[in-house]
């Protein structure tokens, strides 16, 4: 992270750093609410309306800090916690542009009822906006002038000591969520020559190794063959990096519900024999973002000590063209005994997920309450929603509604698409049980294909999140930088914590 984030009990007007930041909401008449900002003169508000995302600097001799930064939240009656996250994130760029070394934000506890959640979202906004991926930059290549002032610290301030315990809890959870999102982003941003299936396994091993409640089971090599994981093998057999299925199980001492999370882990996707165009193929390092979400979540549920049993399954492969690669037209029998006519080797994510969902149904179906899968499955999802949100499908209305609600809370929006029986006809094959492509409505066809490999008598609460449009390329929010976004981590944690 670019800067440190710390907590201190202090009045904003007494803070003596370079800049003090206040979040400001609007009254009904669209004038700024300033009652929580002591000693602030009226004059600076002549052209500041506190619209959501609006920022304004000014100087005032009544404060110890050199500058004040006001950040708009929008109308008070419409305030949601996600706006505190966005306000924190949108503060970072103005602070950096003015060469400010130290800044503080006064937590606006008067505007939000839940001080714990406010502290969490504020911390998270700063942490996500301060994310940077520089693992592969050498120090010698640093072009920054040594004399440039960089933002080194942001202090979160509060006055009321009665709120201290709840605020500290919020900061704690904000740190853990930020770590999970950052891990997911790091995994996606890492180039494919460094992030191979075996390296994903190493990341999973690190998560399990740092926990007393997580175990890791790896299915690879002959085990994949002996246990009929033939669709995973079919996708990965053209690569020199062997495929594997990772199974992480978080099991605390006490729990009442079990949730299974499945993440697509294609560490690089050339399309195989159905080769992709070369333009933007480098972005296919992000095709393991579903696995990145699941690994980030497994780390977070452990650090947050959630009283749930959570299973993380990530099939990890590299899809490469080779003399050993699966050919268009090949028929392969999957884990559940169902045969698939593979007409397009670039529709590979659904194949590895098919084996994994079948395995999840068999092993966990009667023990688990929910099944969620995350996949950069279809480019068609970008046609549906652009980069504004992810596509959601599922067999349980209540589950889908809960996920949509959780997404709104953290500004990770979902839009539900239907899984009508009509679409099942599109994947009927004349020579196998199903085929892996089916014409138009590509995103729904992908979800329909996956549904064929779930035992719905065991898993009647399943949801599929197609995150191809949101795993990278979402540039319109200040808390989502260039590259991987970690989309799905926050909304799922919101859902799991509600459970």
Tens digit of each residue's pLDDT (9 = 90 or more) over 202-250: 999 999 999 999 999 999 999 999 999 999 999 999 999 999 999 999 9
What would the pLDDT profile of 100-133 be if each residue is shown by its tens digit?
999 999 999 989 989 999 999 999 999 999 999 9
Pairing of strands 153-158, 4-9: parallel
Pairing of strands 67-75, 55-58: antiparallel
In total, the chain counts a number of residues equal to 499
Residue range(s) of every CATH 3.40.630.10 domain in the chain: 182-498
What pLDDT is attached to residue 216?
A: 98
What pLDDT is attached to residue 64?
A: 87
Q: Establish whether 244 is a catalytic residue.
A: no
Cβ neighbour number for residue 235 with a 10 Å cutoff:
29
Helices 115-129 and 81-97, axial angle in degrees (round to 10): 40
Cβ neighbour number for residue 372 with a 10 Å cutoff:
24
Number of H helices, E strands in the chain: 12, 18
More confident residue, 193 or 45: 193
Residue 43 has pLDDT above 70, yes or no: no
Structural fold of domain 4-135+153-158: 3.40.220
Q: Is 111 helix (H, G, I), strand (E, B) or coil?
A: coil
Pairing of strands 330-333, 339-342: antiparallel
| Confidence at 369, pLDDT banded by 50, 70, 90 | very high
What would the pLDDT profile of 274-323 be if each residue is shown by its tens digit?
999 999 999 999 999 999 999 999 999 999 999 999 999 999 999 999 99
What pLDDT is attached to residue 143?
A: 55
By C-alpha distance, which of 367, 360, 257, 357 is closest to 309?
A: 257
Residue listed under structure tokens 């500004």: 411
Residue range(s) of every CATH 3.40.220.10 domain in the chain: 4-135+153-158
What are the Cα distances from residue 496, in Å, to 239, 402, 473? 36, 10, 26
What pLDDT is attached to residue 62?
A: 74
Using the Cα atoms of residue 273, residue 276, residue 282 and residue 288 in order, give the sign of their dihedral.
negative
Q: What are phi and psi of 406, to 5 degrees?
A: -60, -40
- For the chain, how big is the Rg over CA atoms in Å? 24
Q: Which CATH class is domain 182-498?
A: alpha beta
DSSP-derived secondary structure for 143-160: -S-TT-----EEEEEE--
Among the listed residues 163, 233, 309, 350, the single catalytic one is 350
What would the pLDDT profile of 370-398 be if each residue is shown by its tens digit?
999 999 999 999 999 999 999 999 999 99
End-to-end CA distance of the chain, in Å? Answer: 31
- Could you tell me what percentage of the chain is helix, strand and coil, using 3-state DSSP and rounding each to the nearest 5? 35, 20, 40
The span from the CA of 80 to the CA of 112, in Å, is 8
For the record, the structure tokens of 161 come out as 């000591």
CA atoms within a 13 Å half-sphere pointing along the CA-CB vector of 269: 30
The secondary structure of residue 275, as a DSSP letter, is P
What are the Cα distances from residue 124, in Å, to 17, 55, 170, 377, 403? 22, 19, 10, 28, 20
CB 231 within 8 A of CB 452: no
Residue 44 has pLDDT above 90, yes or no: no
What would the pLDDT profile of 401-455 be if each residue is shown by its tens digit?
999 999 999 999 999 999 999 999 999 999 999 999 999 999 999 999 999 999 9
Among the listed residues 75, 76, 175, 276, the single catalytic one is 276
Residue 160 has pLDDT above 90, yes or no: no
The span from the CA of 39 to the CA of 20, in Å, is 13
What pLDDT is attached to residue 461?
A: 98
By C-alpha distance, which of 446, 274, 439 is closest to 345?
A: 274
What are the Cα distances from residue 72, in Å, to 79, 84, 114, 183? 11, 10, 19, 30
What pLDDT is attached to residue 42?
A: 57
43-47, 172-176, 349-353, 427-431: least confident range: 43-47
Q: Establish whether 76 is a catalytic residue.
A: no
| Confidence at 145, pLDDT banded by 50, 70, 90 | low
């Amino acid at each position: 992270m670019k800067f440190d984030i710390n907590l201190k009990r202090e009045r904003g007007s007494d803070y003596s750093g370079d800049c003090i930041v206040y979040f400001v909401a609007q009254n009904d008449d669209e004038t700024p609410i300033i009652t929580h900002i002591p000693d602030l003169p009226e004059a600076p508000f002549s052209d500041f309306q506190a619209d959501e995302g609006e920022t304004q600097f000014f100087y005032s001799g009544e404060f110890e800090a050199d500058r004040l930064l006001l950040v708009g939240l929008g109308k008070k009656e419409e305030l949601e916690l996600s706006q505190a996250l966005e306000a924190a994130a949108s503060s970072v760029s103005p602070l950096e542009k003015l060469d400010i070394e130290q800044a503080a934000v006064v937590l606006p506890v008067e505007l939000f009822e839940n001080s714990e959640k406010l502290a969490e979202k504020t911390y998270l906004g700063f942490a996500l906006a301060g994310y940077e991926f520089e693992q592969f930059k050498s120090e010698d290549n640093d072009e920054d002038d040594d004399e440039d002032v960089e933002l080194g610290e942001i202090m979160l301030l509060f006055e009321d000591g009665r709120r201290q315990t709840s605020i500290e809890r919020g900061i704690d959870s904000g740190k853990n969520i930020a770590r999970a999102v950052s891990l997911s982003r790091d995994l996606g941003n890492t180039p494919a020559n460094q992030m191979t299936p075996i390296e994903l396994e190493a990341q999973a091993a690190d998560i399990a190794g740092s926990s007393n409640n997580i175990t890791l089971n790896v299915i690879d090599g002959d085990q994949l063959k002996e246990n009929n994981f033939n669709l995973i093998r079919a996708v990965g057999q053209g690569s020199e990096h062997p495929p594997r299925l990772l199974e992480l199980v978080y099991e605390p001492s006490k729990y009442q519900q079990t949730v299974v999370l499945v993440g697509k882990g294609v560490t690089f996707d050339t399309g195989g024999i159905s080769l992709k165009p070369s333009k933007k193929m480098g972005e296919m390092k992000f095709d393991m973002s579903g696995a990145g979400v699941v690994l980030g979540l497994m780390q977070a549920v452990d650090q947050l000590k959630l009283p749930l049993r959570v299973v993380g399954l990530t099939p990890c492969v590299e899809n490469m063209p080779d003399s050993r690669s699966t050919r268009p037209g090949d028929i392969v029998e999957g884990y559940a005994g169902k045969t698939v006519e593979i007409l397009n080797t670039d529709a590979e994510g659904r194949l590895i997920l098919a084996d994994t969902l079948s395995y999840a149904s068999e092993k966990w179906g009667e023990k688990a309450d929910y099944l969620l899968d995350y996949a950069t499955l279809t480019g068609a999802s970008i046609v549906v929603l652009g980069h504004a949100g992810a596509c959601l499908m599922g067999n349980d209305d209540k589950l889908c509604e809960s996920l949509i609600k959780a997404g709104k809370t953290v500004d990770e929006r979902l839009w539900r698409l239907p899984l009508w029986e009509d679409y099942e006809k599109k994947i009927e094959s004349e020579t196998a049980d199903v085929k892996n492509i089916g014409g138009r409505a590509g995103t729904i066809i992908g979800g329909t294909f996956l549904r064929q490999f779930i035992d719905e008598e065991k898993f009647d609460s399943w949801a599929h999140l197609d995150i191809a449009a949101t795993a990278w390329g979402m540039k319109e929010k200040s808390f989502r930088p260039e590259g991987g976004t970690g989309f799905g981590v926050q909304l799922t944690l919101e859902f799991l914590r509600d459970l």
